[in-house]
Amino acid sequence: MSKRKAQSVWCGVRGIVIVLAWAAASASFCCAEPLSSTEIISQAARYDNATVTYTGEVIGEIMRRGAYCWMNTSDGKNALGIWVPVDMAKDITYTGSFKSMGDMIEVTGVVHRSCPQHGGDLDIHAEKIRKVQEGRLRQEKLNTEKLKYVFIAMGILGAIWILRRLLYR
């Protein structure tokens, strides 16, 4: 009796392990680990129509197109175009430019290697967006080293100007 019980427990454990392994494998392919832009671009055929997770900084401008908008998002290597419903984008405060660091977002969406809706662009159609980190304005301090070089260069320019006048006086 105890042997049969042990066998049935073992079968149950084995079943759970198999189910968990299958779930882990499919999750790793779909969306568990965030993918980099390099992986998505260089293996576009592999991820075509797959749901992936991608994290990056919103850069440039959010360009509204009707009920949707384009949100270009860079992970530092490349920037990818994310097609987002306007409602999902309303929490974005900062976009990356010279004067600001954009919000970092985690996008879960479907990769299109050659999007039929957008003229064959490689893009991601967002299903979910989560702000990972708030962006900020960049405080620009005047570089005193550069200022010093400006004065030195101005001095040299003045000297050349005087030399020129002296040469052809």
Partner 1 sequence: MILKPNIHDIKNIGYYLGKVLMGLAITMVIPIATALACREGNPCLDFVIGFVITLCFGLLLTALCRHTPHVAGEALRKTPLASPEQDLNWMQGMIVVALSWIGAMFLGAIPLFLGGHFVSYLDACFEAMSGLATTGLTLVQDLDHMSYAHNLWRHLIMFIGGQGIVIVALSFLVKGGSGAFRMYVGEARDEKILPNVVHTSRFIWLVSAVYLFLGTMALGLAGTLNGMKPANALFHGACIFMAAFDTGGFAPQSQNILYYHSFPFEIITVVLMILGAINFRLHYHVWMGNRKEIAKNIETVTLFITILLTFFVTAIGLNQLATYPAALTLFRKGFYQLVSGHTGTGFMTVYAPQLIKEWSPLALAGVIYAMGLGGAVCSTTGAIKMLRVGIIFKALVQDIKKIILPERAVIMQKFHHVQAAFLEDKQVRSVFFITLAYLLLYGFGALVGMWCGYPFLDSLFESTSASANVGLSCGITAVGMPSILKITYIFQMWIGRLEFLSIFTLIGFFVAAIKGK
Q: Which residues of 101-116 are buried (b: 16+ CB within 10 A; e: fewer)?
A: bbbbbbbbbbbbbebe
Compute the radius of gyration of the chain from its Cα atoms: 28
Closer residue to partner 1 in complex, CB, 19/157: 157
166: phi then psi, degrees, rounded to nearest 5 = -70, -40
Q: Tell the smallest beta-carbon distance from residue 138 to partner 1 (Å).
A: 8
Whole-angstrom distance, CA of residue 42 vs CA of residue 16: 35
Beta bridge partners of 94: none
Q: Tell the smallest beta-carbon distance from residue 60 to partner 1 (Å).
A: 6
Beta bridge partners of 130: 106
- Interface contacts to partner 1, rule CB under 8 A: 38, 41-42, 44-45, 59-65, 69-70, 72, 74, 76, 78-79, 81, 96-98, 101, 113-114, 116, 118-123, 140, 142-143, 146-147, 149-150, 153-154, 156-157, 160-161, 163-164, 167-169
Closer residue to partner 1 in complex, CB, 14/164: 164
Q: Tell the smallest beta-carbon distance from residue 134 to partner 1 (Å).
A: 17
Closer residue to partner 1 in complex, CB, 2/66: 66
